[in-house]
Amino acid sequence: MNDRNAIQRIEILLVEDNHGDVDLTKATLKNSNIRNNLQTFSNGKEAMAFLRRESPYTKAPRPDVILLDLNLPVMDGREVLAQIKSDPKLSLIPVIILTSSDSDQDILTSYKLNANAYVTKPLELEQFVKVLKSIENFWLSIVKLPPKN
């Protein structure tokens, strides 16, 4: 475990409109060995307001990592990703695309927009939990996250 994780909680932002995936992610992270705070939003516009600390999120914590679905209402994940990576205050936050799309075009677009990783959600429950555990183990235990500004 990286030293930072042992000292404080990891702030995770999940931007996902599928309530079942949100509940499963919450349950998986709740049972995690890594202390974490999970914030969730079901559309990109609200997630961006949170990230930019706009009202009513003026005291929002800066996420250490973002799990982002591509197919969102109001503002889709591609636009959210583009805005995050073009904002100097947000661009260093790792963004993991976690989506049901396995389209080559979506993968290419996400990496062109500087996604840090692209993960296709499995359809089976057990596999989905396994994917979440893999993300947790790699991104929250092994990877050195950028310092908070």
Closest CA to 138 of 53, 41, 67: 67
Instruction: Taking residues 38-64, report their average pLDDT.
Output: 96
Give me the percent of the chain exceeding a pLDDT of 90. Answer: 66
Please, what is the average pLDDT of the chain? 90
Q: Is the pLDDT of residue 128 over 70?
A: yes
Tokens of 76: 């889709």
- pLDDT digit string, tens, across residues 3-19: 444 456 889 999 999 99
Instruction: Give the pLDDT score at 3.
Output: 47
Instruction: Taking residues 96-120, report their average pLDDT.
Output: 96
Q: What is the C-alpha to C-alpha distance for residues 108 and 101, in angstroms, rounded to an integer?
A: 12
Task: Tell me the pTM.
Answer: 0.90
- Provide φ and ψ at 51, rounded to 5°: -60, -35
- Strand ranges for 2-146 from DSSP E: 10-15, 36-41, 65-68, 95-99, 117-120
Q: How confident is the model at residue 149 (pLDDT cuts 50, 70, 90)?
A: low
Instruction: Give the pLDDT score at 2.
Output: 46
Instruction: Give the pLDDT score at 4.
Output: 45
Sheet holding 65-68, edge to edge: 36-41, 10-15, 65-68, 95-99, 117-120
